Amino acid sequence: MTPPDPSTLDPSSVTAAQIEAWFRRHIAALIGTTPDAVDGGADFESFGIDSLQAVDMIVALEKWLGMPDDLPMEMLFEAPSISDAARSVAEARARRTARS
Residues that bind another protein (CB under 8 A): 50-52, 54-56, 58-59, 68-69, 72-74, 77-78
CB of 27 to another protein, least distance (A): 18
Which is nearer to another protein, 19 or 76 (by Cβ)? Answer: 76
Give which of 66, 82, 74, 79 is closest to 19, Cα–Cα. 82
Comparison of 56 and 91: residue with beta carbon closer to another protein: 56
When the beta carbons of 13 and 46 are compared against another protein, the nearer one is 46
Question: Residue 45 to residues 11, 56, 82, 93: CA-CA distances in angstroms?
Answer: 28, 15, 10, 23
Least separation in angstroms between residue 40's CB and another protein is 22
Q: Which residue number, 21 or 54, has a Cβ lying nearer to another protein?
A: 54
Count Cβ atoms within 10 A of the Cβ of residue 66 and give its class: 0-12 exposed, 13-18 middle, 19 or more buried. middle
Exposed, middle or buried, 92 (CB in 10 Å: 0-12/13-18/19+)?
Answer: middle
Min dist CB 74 to another protein, Å, is 5
